[in-house]
Structure 1
Amino acid sequence: MASMASFALFLLFHLHMVTAALGVQPVITAASMVSRAPPPPASLLSHSFYRRTCPDAEGIIHRKVQAWINKDFTLAAALIRLHFHDCAVRGCDASILLNYRRSERRALASKTLRGFRVIDDIKAELERKCPRTVSCSDILTAAARDATILAGGPFWEVPFGRKDGRITIAAEAERVPQGRENVTALIDYFRHLGLDVLDLVALSGAHTIGRAACHTFNDRLYNFNRTRKPDPNLKPPFLNLLRRQCKKDMDLVFLDATTPKMFDTAYFKNLQKKLGLLTTDQALQSDERTSSFVDLMANQPFLFESQFSASMVKLGNVGVLVRKNEGEIRVNCNFINRRRK
């Protein structure tokens, strides 16, 4: 057996050298000689998935998102955040949309999530045009992309073919970063999702739009690290502004204090000036593992937009359900389908 294995390795090496010299790719690979591993789920997604079954799916999603954001611009950030919270728990399977007792949607960490009505509206229209065809997870992923564009951000192609999950657990949603973690905890969480440090910094740039509830950063204003003092990194004018804006825990404050309605690099420039709102925001500038990426994106808008697009594609591919016996196409995004007898 050992001699056969040695001969196989010799054959592969010889074949590699010959094909390299000829400038062609070998047909036989080490993986194909040993065993054929199944392709990763994300590789089964396709940009043309609905081309025949629902050719106007993306058009319907875009028009609906645009109509809602025209009425309320804050929904752009809400849809991006809703997509992240979905993918951050069990992968991008629309489990955040399930509306049951003790579901992710009912978790304390999900209390300020918005955009559910937008997804319901899109789904209702798609069910009229293409019944039981377009998944809620695909809708949410495309809606996050379109929300980014409508806020002035970049375009990227969304591959489709996700199915919707049937499991949702509130306790799992509580593990999503809430704005007070240190950089090590953030890096570990993103690594758990298959995302790296560059993805962490780029995706944090979504905070160039959107708002945060005061309870997520109140400790920075009055009792930082249980010292009964404010965070020393907060400059006095910014500290006083935040204290005036935060009368109640659920009051909302813009994450970007300078250009809150524009998808731009001001978020990163704010971090350089110590104007980051959340602990997790400002920590990206002070930690050597992330600070260089913050500086790069602050000064190079094209780099930020291109990396944000790439990182959003990676996020949208996390834990997708694509195979025959996985998930379903929900008729109503709020509930799993009734089993057919």
Structure 2
Amino acid sequence: MRFMAMASSFALFFLLHLHFIVSLPATQPVLTVASTSRAPPSSAASLLSHNFYHRTCPDAEGIIHRKVLAWINKDFTLAPALIRLHFHDCAVRGCDGSILLNYRRSERSAFASKTLRGFSVIDDIKAELERKCPKTVSCSDILTAAARDATILAGGPFWEVPFGRKDGKISIAAEAEKVPQGHENVTTMINYFQNLGLDVLDLVALSGAHTIGRAACHTFQDRLYNFNRTRKPDPILKPPFLNLLRKQCKKGMDLVHLDATTPKMFDTAYFTNLEKKLGLLMTDQALISDERTSSFVNLMANQPFLFDSQFSASMVKLGNVGVLTRKNEGEIRVNCNFVNPRRRK
């Protein structure tokens, strides 16, 4: 039954991508279509497996799901927080759990990481897994699966998570500061994603995670008062939306919903909002005005199944970035906050 379900999912994914290609406007360059093809997995990522824990910790996914469910039932805002935490982990040194390391000058201590949340969820899951399956399930695998389950619980799609990542031992705050903060232009974002092995379609699809969650006002405050150092607001912002944002942003760390219309629903409203000039971050709104990304925004705004399918595929690609899977790479942390103590010889 599981094989049939996976086969059906693959068939749906193929049909949606075929539909995507034939739906492109006639003026869309062929190069743009070619750039959306999925990159082959790295040799390290090819060592990941869907049944990696079937013998060593058969209930690993069940434990992760039940814990994520319990936390999100108490606080829905943890759903987008876990997705964002996963992205920040993979965007620096790859998906190695380095964002979870908690010490002076680690990624977690960087200013760019100040609004990250969900660490307690991962700690809770890890503690339970250590009781059931000691020294077996990595923190990076936990975070990857937790992001998937958070997406599902927010109303988003399901995808199979391959396991077998190991945890990194290095975490540097200065590297975390390079993660996009919401004010970059499209070219910068495309280049950043390409360095991760992700393409333009992945950029647009993963940006769709902003259909839920909130952003700190300091990430877009220049749009409200001093856009491009003109001492004027961003002209794209319509007066009602501008006035609303100014009321909501009394302090730089105040939080505002990324999706102004359906902030608690994982849907395509994020993309339709961009068409209506209701994008919150510059990195969001710019996607509709750049010819390299605008066609993808329009397609996902009008084809929810396409968005769900591509978001799933792009999250799998994201979860494969820079993974540590070989014998001499990384470790299985006993505590996600710290590297394991060295063994005495």
TM-score, with length taken from structure 2:
0.88
Matched residue, 1:327: 330
Matched residue, 2:120: 117
- Asked if 1:95 is matched to 2:108, the reply is no
Please list every run of 5 or more consecutive structure 2 residues that lacks an aligned counterpart in the other structure: 1-40
AA aligned to 1:71 is K
- Asked if 1:40 is matched to 2:29, the reply is no
In the TM superposition, structure 1's runs of 4+ consecutive aligned residues that sit over 6 Å from their partners are none
Q: In the aligned structure 2, how far is the partner of 1:254 from the partner of 1:39?
A: 36
Q: In the aligned structure 1, how far is the partner of 2:328 from the partner of 2:244?
A: 53
Matched residue, 2:209: 206
Q: In the aligned structure 1, how far is the partner of 2:177 from the partner of 2:42?
A: 31
Alignment match of 2:200 (pick from 197, 201, 206): 197
AA aligned to 2:112 is A
Q: In the aligned structure 1, how far is the partner of 2:110 from the partner of 2:130?
A: 28
Q: In the aligned structure 1, how far is the partner of 2:138 from the partner of 2:256?
A: 33
Q: How does 1:293-304 map to 2 (within 5 A)?
A: 293-304=296-307
Matched residue, 2:52: 49
Alignment match of 2:182 (pick from 163, 169, 179): 179
AA aligned to 1:140 is L
Q: CA deviation at 1:340?
A: 1.1
- Asked if 1:108 is matched to 2:111, the reply is yes
AA aligned to 1:324 is K
Distance 1:253 1:39, change over 3 A: closer
Secondary structure of the equivalent of 2:240?
Answer: helix
TM-score, with length taken from structure 1:
0.89
Matched residue, 2:147: 144
AA aligned to 1:290 is T
Q: In the aligned structure 2, how far is the partner of 1:338 from the partner of 1:105?
A: 20
Secondary structure of the equivalent of 1:244?
Answer: helix
- Listed one character per residue, the Cα deviations across residues 248-280 of structure 1 (whole Å, up to 9, x for unaligned) are 110000000000000000000000000000000
Q: In the aligned structure 2, how far is the partner of 1:39 from the partner of 1:179?
A: 29
Matched residue, 1:256: 259
Alignment match of 2:76 (pick from 73, 77, 81): 73
Q: In the aligned structure 2, how far is the partner of 1:286 from the partner of 1:162?
A: 38
Matched residue, 1:127: 130
- Listed one character per residue, the Cα deviations across residues 194-225 of structure 1 (whole Å, up to 9, x for unaligned) are 00000000000000000000000000000000
Matched residue, 1:165: 168
Q: CA deviation at 1:245?
A: 0.4
- Asked if 1:222 is matched to 2:225, the reply is yes
Q: How does 1:4-23 map to 2 (within 5 A)?
A: none
AA aligned to 2:240 is P
Q: In the aligned structure 2, how far is the partner of 1:254 from the partner of 1:337?
A: 38
Q: In the aligned structure 1, how far is the partner of 2:130 from the partner of 2:42?
A: 31
Q: CA RMSD in A?
A: 0.8
Q: How does 1:244-323 map to 2 (within 5 A)?
A: 244-323=247-326
Q: In the aligned structure 2, how far is the partner of 1:219 from the partner of 1:60?
A: 43
Q: In the aligned structure 2, how far is the partner of 1:288 from the partner of 1:235?
A: 22
Q: In the aligned structure 2, how far is the partner of 1:225 from the partner of 1:101?
A: 34
Q: CA deviation at 1:164?
A: 0.0
Matched residue, 1:33: none
AA aligned to 1:268 is F
AA aligned to 1:292 is S
Q: In the aligned structure 1, how far is the partner of 2:189 from the partner of 2:334?
A: 35
Q: CA deviation at 1:182?
A: 0.1
- Structure exhibiting the larger radius of gyration computed from Cα positions: 1
Q: In the aligned structure 2, how far is the partner of 1:269 from the partner of 1:178?
A: 22
Secondary structure of the equivalent of 1:167?
Answer: coil
Q: In the aligned structure 2, how far is the partner of 1:171 from the partner of 1:79?
A: 22
- Listed one character per residue, the Cα deviations across residues 153-195 of structure 1 (whole Å, up to 9, x for unaligned) are 0000000000000000000000000000000000000000000
Q: How many residues matched?
A: 304
AA aligned to 2:146 is A
Q: CA deviation at 1:39?
A: 6.7
Distance 1:39 1:314, change over 3 A: closer
Identity of aligned residues (%): 88
